[in-house]
Structure formats: structure tokens, C-alpha cells
Structure 1
Amino acid sequence: MYPATPSGMPALSRFGIPLGLAGLGGGWSAARSSLGSPMWPEEILYGAASSLWLVLTAVYVFRGLRRRGAFRADLRHELAGPFASFIPLVGILLSSHYSQYLPPWGAWLCTAFIAALAIVAAQLLAHWVTGGVSMQSIHPGYLLPVVPGFFVASIGFSTVHAHSAAMAAFGIGAFFWLVIGTVVTVRLMTGGELPPAAKIGLSAYLAAPATANIAWMVSHPGPVGGVQLGLTGVLLIMALMQVMLLPEYRRLPFTQMFWVFTFPVAATSNYAIRWLATTDIPDREIYAWTVLGLATAFTLLIAARTALTAISPKSAAGKQVRSPLSSVGP
């Protein structure tokens, strides 16, 4: 059973905001390389993500200092624990981007955040394999630290030109994609319905192949090979599954947890832009701009609903706030 009030869920889920903004910044960065887009959208997104991440980290650390063992308790929480990986994950994305302006400091920071992610992931794994969680409590968010997390680490290593380390990180992500992905899928197929707070984590099924595709492409520039095509096929079927899950998402009341959706969407658009640039599809630039525009509009919609909820929390509490996805689909 899940606790009624997850201890660290509100604090840790807020890091989904800078994660989504940084992910969308990566999409605009891909557009600058492939489509010649201006630099200012990605810099605004990365700047906003940096500011929010610094503020949220400071608040979270201050909270931890006031309550001894807060981070350990959050890390061991059956529902909220995996979201602790968002803190170093955002750091990897930001330091990878700014490494182009701050060599070699950016590379050192990127490596430090990857090390922090590895420590968090190792702590989570040690807790999981020693009976720290029950099968019923497992949800798709358990993929985030060890699958998309290490694929992002691979991207970070490639950005700072550490190819061997990038392949090692990719191998870790691929291993846990198979292992943890199997456990999570078995739980979902046999363990009954997820609680609403955990259903948003189903987007991790999209985040995994999206980040894997980007990681492989940036570490293997040049013609698209068999591995890339295979990963692209996995991404396509996972994207189709997300479309089929829209009725489930539309029934969820809007909360700040909806920011968790933005990173998988942004990462998918990032890869789509990169992949389209390698093809001879007619009007591929139109398709690329369409994908980026939809991802940007989705993130802006989530931001607008978040602001609306913050401005009028009483009215939001008095009635169910419908999901932004309620306007998507039939």
C-alpha cells in the first residue's frame, strides 16, 4: 500500500519543472543545429531551468538541514524515492549545455553531477534489492534513475568528449532498461491499477527510448545504423502506447506532477528533429518544426495551468482541475 501523504513527493516532484524546461532547451538546441533556429529560445529555457533548479535545490537542502535524515527518508520512500534522481539529472543537462561556454569547468561539473546521479542510483538499488520495497509499491518512476538517468549521463559524457565513459553509461542504462523494465512491467500487468500519483510515471516508458536514441546518436555521429533503427522502432511503439494511454491521463486531476510529462515529450521531439535531419523525407523541416512547436506548446500549457493553480489555489481546491490532456484526443 502507498502512504496517504508521500513525505518527499511534493518537494521532489517540483524538480520536474527545471527538468522539463532543460529538456525542451535541448530540443531547441537540436533545432539550432538542424534547422538554423535562433539561439535565444534555448538560452531562455536553460536560464529559467537553471534559476529554478538553484532555488529548489537551496530550499530542499534547507529543509533537509532542519530535519535530520530528510533526504534519506525521501530516498527510501516507496513512491517518491526515484524522483530524488531529478536533482543531479537536471544538473547534468545544465552543465552539459553550459560546458560550451565554461571549459573546462563545465566538463568537471558534468562529471560531478553524473557521479552524484550514480551515488543516488546505487543507494536506491541497494535499498530495493534488500527488501526495501514491495512488488505492489513499484511504479514506472523506478525506471527514471537507472534508465533515462544513465542515458542522459551518456549524453553528458559525449558532450564533454568522453566517448568511452559515454558508452559505459549507455551500457548501464541498457542493462537496467532490461532488468528494471521487466520488473516494472510485470508489476503493472499483474499487480492491479496504479494510484493516480503514480500513473504519471507511465511516461517513463517514453523517456527511456527517447534518451537512449539521443545518447546513441550523439555518440555515433554519421549514417544511421542498425542499432539506431532498432531504438527508433522502440521509441515509435512507446509513443503509440502513450497515445493509447491518453484516456487514462485525461482522467487525472491537474497537479504539479504533470511536469513529469514534459521531459519525455521534449526528449522525443529532440530526437525526432535529429532523426529527420538524417533522412530524405520531403518537407522534413516542416515536420521537425511541427514536432518542436507541439512540444513547446505542451510545455507552455503545463506552465500556464501551474501558474493558474498557484494564483487561485482556493478555487482549484474547490473543484477538480482538469488535466491539460483533456483537450487532446477524441
Structure 2
Amino acid sequence: MHALSRFGIPLGLAGLGGGWSAARSYLGAPLWPEEILYATATAMWLVLTATYVFRGLRRKGTFRSDLKHEVAGPFASFVPLVGILLSSHYSQYLPPWGSWVCGAFIAALAIVAAQLLAHWVTAGVSMQSIHPGYLLPAVAGSFVASIGFSIIHAHDAAIATFGVGMFFWLLVGTVVTVRLMTGGELTPAAKPGLTAYLAAPAAANIAWMVSHPGPMGAVQLGLTGVLAIMTLLQVMLLAEYRKLRFTPAFWVFTFPVGATTNYAIRWLAATSLPGREVYAWTILGLATAFTLAIAARTAASRGSRTQRDKSHTVNEGG
């Protein structure tokens, strides 16, 4: 598992934290699940960032090399992406410092995304190596940045950043889809990245809703339709996902699930659908159970690997 892909863990926890935040606002959910998720995500992000930076200090050019990695390169955006989610959440407790920190992480994400794009457009990657994770930096990342700007009350910047996300959604999304349709089957390790097709519309819907509070207009309804069909796509892909051997890379599933849950709660609250609160709580419960299951499987697999390593060491010593 590449070091950058490990940032999918705090990203997924923060994504679910956003779902519980929406539940607190619209369903009267308690505060503690949201804060536990964000605190855990913060601790994980700090540890992973410190470890990654320390490794980079020991090996000059590590980050530049990782950016150019054909498979893991897009995951470089996870570092500032998680920072945006965390700082925008804590900005409510630390004004105005939280807003400045959030803005700094958005700027960092823009720099990382621009570096990645510059590498890609100069023939830095082969068509065969492209995977759905390429949607994350400039597409889902831009929508998350738009959400961050809305939370810190920078409305004009939120709209501008949303436009950036829409542009690259069309551009990069077309390239990724063409590769998937014509370039052969993805490797098993890359298949969890197909959930990026869900992350992009989920983040886009949240971004537009928080920047345009009130009755849903045509843009919101159109984006909701895209999210609905992308959710159905994920249902159709369940058979493929079930064939995969579990690895910590499965954390890539958790952020799209958390973001979709976040929007589903907001959308249901804006409708007059009978039983909408029951549906919202059910969706939130399933998303929470799913993330906890991934965490439990990760801990179990890590424990098994540690035990195997100890047994191997003992056998060698014997």
C-alpha cells in the first residue's frame, strides 16, 4: 500500500463526520459521533503527515517522485484534501484562524492539482495507467474546496471553485471513461477507485447546496440525477467488488459513501417525502456500520500480518 493512499483513512473518517454533521443539523443527532470521527481523522492525518514528511526529509525529492507515480500520483491530493475537511469543520470553534487555515489548505490543494495536471499534459502518464482516482485532485478536490469556501463564508470563491470542478469533471472524466471503456480491465488493486465516480457527484451536490441554501433549483436537481445514476452504477459493480481480496486500500470506498450519506440527509430534509427521517437515519446507520466494518477488517488484517511476521522471525531464529 503506497504511503499516499493511506490518507484515504482520515479522508473516509472525515467524510462520515460530515454525514453526522448533517444529521445533527437536520435530524437532531448528538454532537459526539461527529466530533469523535473528526478527532480520530485529525489524529490519523497528523501521524500520517508527520511520517510522510519525515520520510521525505530523509530522501530528497520524495514528494516530487510520488507526484509522478502513475498509479499513486493522484493520491497526493489527499493530504491537503483532508486538511480542508478538518479545518473547515474546526473553523466554527477557532474563528478567524480556522478560516485562514482552511484557505491555506485550499491553496495547497490548488498547487498540488496544478503540478499533477502539468505532469499529465506533458505526456507524463500512459493511457493504460490512468484509473478513476485521477478524478480526485481537480474534480472532487475542487468541489470539496468549494464546500470549504462556503463554510468560511467566501461565497464568490466557492462559486469560482465549483466552476473549476465542473470543467475538470467534463475533461478528466471523459479521459478516464474512455480509458476504462477501451483500455482493458483494471487491475484488482485499482478497482476500488471506481468509487470516484460516486465521490465527484456527491461532493458536487453538497457544494452547490451549501452555496445555494433554500429551495432546490434546476442545477441542484440535475446534479441529484447524476448522483442517483452513479449510485446505481455502484450497485451494479458490487459483484466486481465482492471478488476483490480485502486490503487497507478498501478505505477508498468510505469517503464516497460518507459524502453520499451527507447529501442524502440534506436532500431528504429538503423534500416532503413521507418517512424521510427514517430513511435518513437508515442511510446514516448503514454508512457508519460500513466504515466501522472497514476499520475492523483493517485492524484484523494488520494484527494477522504482525502475527505472521513474529512467527516468521521465531522460525528463522529457530
TM-score band by shorter chain is over 0.9
Aligned to 1:150: 142
Aligned to 2:203: 211
Q: Are 2:66 and 1:77 aligned?
A: no
Change over 3 Å in CA distance of 1:115–1:271 after alignment to 2: same
The answer to whether the Cα contact below 8 Å between 1:262 and 1:299 also exists between their aligned partners in 2 is yes
In 2, the alpha carbon distance for the partners of 1:298 and 1:13 equals: 19
Shift, 1:316, TM fit: 8.0
Q: 2:253 aligns with which of 253, 261, 265?
A: 261
1:197 is paired with a residue whose SS is helix
In 2, the alpha carbon distance for the partners of 1:297 and 1:79 equals: 29
Change over 3 Å in CA distance of 1:188–1:316 after alignment to 2: farther
Within 5 Å, give how 1:45-194 maps onto structure 2: 45-194=37-186
How many residue pairs are counted as aligned between the two chains?
Answer: 309
Q: What amino acid is aligned across from residue 231 of structure 2 in structure 1?
A: A
Identity percentage of aligned residues = 79
Aligned to 2:314: none
Aligned to 2:313: none
In 1, the alpha carbon distance for the partners of 2:248 and 2:77 equals: 17
Q: 1:196 aligns with which of 188, 193, 206?
A: 188
Structure 2 residue runs without a partner (length 5+): 310-318
Shift, 1:315, TM fit: 7.1
In 1, the alpha carbon distance for the partners of 2:246 and 2:307 equals: 13
The answer to whether the Cα contact below 8 Å between 1:20 and 1:259 also exists between their aligned partners in 2 is yes
Aligned to 1:271: 263
Which deviations, in whole Å up to 9, do the C-alpha atoms of 1:265-301 show, x marking residues without a partner?
0000000000000000011000000000000000000
Structure 1 residue runs without a partner (length 5+): 1-8, 318-330
Q: What amino acid is aligned across from residue 115 of structure 2 in structure 1?
A: Q
Shift, 1:10, TM fit: 2.0
TM-score, L = length of structure 1: 0.92
1:210 is paired with a residue whose SS is helix
Q: What amino acid is aligned across from residue 55 of structure 1 in structure 2?
A: V
The answer to whether the Cα contact below 8 Å between 1:141 and 1:202 also exists between their aligned partners in 2 is yes
In 2, the alpha carbon distance for the partners of 1:310 and 1:185 equals: 34
Aligned to 1:28: 20
Shift, 1:13, TM fit: 1.0
TM-score, L = length of structure 2: 0.96
In 2, the alpha carbon distance for the partners of 1:250 and 1:314 equals: 25
Runs of 4+ off more than 2 Å? 314-317
In 2, the alpha carbon distance for the partners of 1:295 and 1:309 equals: 21
